[in-house]
A and B are shown apart, each in its own frame.
Chain A
Amino acid sequence: MTTVAVARRSPLNRAARIVAFAVIAIVLYDIVLFVALQQSWLTGSKALTGDHAFGVAIQQTINALSIGAIYALIALGYTMVYGIIELINFAHGDVFMVGAFLSILVTAGIFGQIPGADITNIPFLILVLTVALLLVMPATGLLNLTIERIFYRPFRGGSRLAPLITAVGVSFILQNVALVVVGSGDRAAPQVFPLNWQIPIGDAKISVLSIFIFVLAVGLMLALNTFVNRTRLGRAMRATAQDQQAASLMGVDLNQTIALTFLLGGALAGAAGVVWGLRFGFVRQDLGFNAGLKAFTSAVLGGIGNINGAALGGFFIGFTENLASALGYSRWSEFLVFLILTFVLIFRPTGILGQQLGDRA
C-alpha cells in the first residue's frame, strides 16, 4: 500500500515562511526605492544623493507599511464576505467611513480632543486609543451585521445579482446619511497620536504612528487568523465558505455563521477607520468609495476569498502607491494600481494567492 504523505506544513514552519517573505519583500522595496530615488531620469531635478536617499527610502517604506495595513484591514472584510456568500459587499468601504466618523465621536465627544492637539501623556493616549477601538469596532461590526440581516439575507438562495445591486444601494444610503449628518467636504479628525514622535535614522525620521498602525493591523490579522484556523467557530466559517449545504448538515447554523463573518469584517473596517483619522487628520463622507475601491482591489489582487491574500494585496497596493508618490508621481498612483490589477487578472484571474476553482467533488 502506497502512503504518499502530503502532510500539511506545520503552522510554525508556515509562520516562519510568511515572516521571512515579508522581511525580504520589505528590504527589497527599500533597496528599490533607495536606488530609484537617486535616478535623475526618474525623479527629475529632485534626485537625492546617497545618504539622503537612504533615509527617505526607510521613511517611505514605513509609510507604505502603514497605508498598506489600512487597506489590508478593509480588504479582509471584502474577502471574508465574498468567501462565505460570494457577494461583493460594496457597502463595506462605507462601513469603514462610518468607523472613521465614530472614532471622531469618541475622541472628541468622550475625551474632548480637538483637531490640532495631540496627547503626549502616554497612559492617557493608550486609554483614548483603546476606548476608541473598543467602541468603534463593535459598532461597525454590528452595523455590517445589520446590513446583512436587512438587505442581503432576504436574497439568499436566489439570484446573485440582486444582493449585489442592493449592496451598491446600501453604499449610497450610508454615504447620503453621512452627508446629511456631517455634511460634505473634509472634516478634521483629532490626531491624538503625536505626529512629532519620530525615530531619527540618519537624516530620516520614522513616524511612530506608522509603526503603531502597522503593529496594530498585524496584531488584528493574527487574531483573525487564529480565530479562523484554530477555533470551532472559525472552522465552521471555513466549512461554510466551502460548502454551505454540507456545513448545515454538520449542524452549522448558516445565518449565524454568515452574521459572524459580517461582524468580524465590520469590526476590522472600524479599526481601519480609527487609524485613518489618526494618520490623515481628516474624514469625509465619500471616503468609503475611494478607500473601499483600493481595499476591494487589494482583495481581488490577493485572491478574493483568501484571507492571507487580502492582507498581501493590501500591502502590495500600499507599496505601489507609495512608490509612485515617493518618486513624485502621486497623480499616477491610481493608474499604476489599476494597471497592475488588470495585468494580474489577465494572467492570473484567481489573484496572487487565489484558490483554484472547482474543488467541490
Chain B
Amino acid sequence: MTAMAAEPMLVVENVHTYYGQIHALQGVTLHVAKGEVVTLIGANGAGKTTTLKTISGLLHARAGHVKFEGEDITKVAPHVLVERGIGHAPEGRRIFSRLTVLENLQMGAFSRPKANIAPDIERVFALFPRLKERERQLGGTLSGGEQQMLAIGRALMSEPRMLLLDEPSLGLAPILVAQVFETIKEINSQGTTVLLVEQNALQALSIAHRGYVLQTGEVVLSGSADSLRQNETVRKAYLGED
C-alpha cells in the first residue's frame, strides 16, 4: 500500500446516497491516495456507479462526507468539481452523439476556457490514434470501442488530477479491453490518480494498486489488489471461479 503522507487525495466517509426512497449507498467508506489506481468491484446494483456519481457531484450524499484534497465536496455541483480536478467518464460513455469527435474533445476542456488545448488534443490522439482518423465524424457514428476511447479522452481533456472511470471495458472486444487497460496504466503513470469501476474484476485488479468490494451499498472487503485476487470470496463471486 502506498505510504500516506497526510490525508489521502479522496476520502469518502460513511456516505449514504438515495435515489428517491431507494437507499443505494448504505455507509460507504473508502479513500484514494494521490498516484494510486483503486478499483471498485462488485455485482450489478452493488452501488459502484452510485459511488462515482456521489463523488463527482451528479448525486449528493444524504449523510456522510466526501472530501477531495482536504476540502469537503459533498454538496458541490459537478461543473465546479471538474474545475477542481475531478474528471468523470460516466457509465454508458455518454458521448455527445451529434457533436464531432473534435467537438467532444473540446467540450472535455470546457472547464479550461483560457487554456491552449491543442497539445491536449494531440495527447488524446496519441493515446487513441483511431480518434484522429475520425476527428470530423459525429460521435454517434463511432463504434462502441471508439466511443469508449472518446469518453476516456474527453475526460482527460479537463486535465483531471483524479479520473473516475465507470466500466470502461463494457461491451468491448477482448483486444480492445486489453488496450483500454493499458491506456489506464499509461494515464496513471503520467500522474493521474484513477478510481476505476469494473465488472471485469480480474483485469481491474491486474492494474490496480488497491481495491474495494461493494455489496448492496456497502464495502464488504478491501485491500491490496494482490490480496483481493487471492481472496476466496472474491475468486468465487467476481473472478468466475468455482
Residues on A lying within 8 angstroms of B by beta carbon are 3, 5-8, 232, 235-236, 238-239, 242-243, 245-254, 355, 359-361
Contacts and interface: CB of A to CB of B under 8 A. Distances in A.
Contacts of B141: 6
A39 to B, nearest CB: 45
Contact of A248 (B77, B93, B99): B77
A254 B79 contact: yes
Contact of B58 (A238, A248, A359, A360): A248
Contacts of B95: 246, 361
Interface residues of B, number: 37
A252 to B, nearest CB: 6
Given A235-B103, A245-B90, A250 B97 contact: no
A227 B110 CA distance: 16
A361 B94 contact: yes
Interface string B227-238: 000000000000
A361 B103 CA distance: 17
Return the 9 tightest CB-CB contacts between A and B, nearest first.
Answer: A251-B111, A251-B82, A246-B94, A248-B78, A251-B110, A250-B110, A359-B97, A250-B107, A251-B79
Contact of B99 (A242, A252, A355): A242
B204 to A, nearest CB: 21
A307 to B, nearest CB: 12
Contact of A232 (B56, B96, B113, B147): B113
Nearest to A251: B111
Contacts of A236: 107, 110
Given A249-B58, A359-B97, 15 more contacts: A5-B137, A6-B138, A235-B103, A238-B98, A239-B96, A242-B98, A243-B96, A246-B95, A247-B107, A248-B79, A249-B78, A249-B79, A250-B79, A251-B111, A253-B77
Interface string B53-94: 000111000000000000000000111001100011010111
A361 B147 contact: yes
B83 to A, nearest CB: 6
Contacts of B17: none
B110 A232 contact: yes
Contacts of B147: 361
Contacts of B78: 245, 248-249
Contacts of B133: 3
22 contacts: A6-B141, A8-B137, A232-B106, A232-B110, A232-B113, A238-B98, A242-B97, A242-B98, A242-B99, A245-B58, A245-B78, A245-B90, A248-B57, A248-B77, A248-B79, A249-B56, A250-B108, A250-B154, A251-B79, A252-B79, A253-B77, A361-B95
Contacts, number: 91
Contacts of A239: 96, 99, 107
B97 A361 contact: yes
Given A3-B133, A246-B90, A235 B58 contact: no
A361 B96 CA distance: 9
Contact of B94 (A232, A243, A252, A253): A243
A309 to B, nearest CB: 14
B90 A8 contact: no
B160 to A, nearest CB: 11
Contacts of B106: 232, 235
B39 interface: no
B100 interface: yes
A250 B136 contact: no
Given A246-B90, A251-B111, A254-B79, A8 B158 contact: no
B197 to A, nearest CB: 15
B140 interface: yes
A336 B93 CA distance: 45
Nearest to B147: A361
Contacts of A7: 136-137
A254 B94 CA distance: 16
Interface string B134-151: 001110110000010000
A240 to B, nearest CB: 10
Contacts of B98: 238, 242, 355, 359
A253 B79 CA distance: 6
B90 A249 contact: yes
Contacts of A242: 96-99
A4 to B, nearest CB: 9
B90 A361 contact: no
Nearest to B141: A6
A344 to B, nearest CB: 22
Nearest to B93: A361
Of B57, B93, B100, B136, chain A has the most CB atoms within 10 Å of the CB of B136
B84 to A, nearest CB: 10
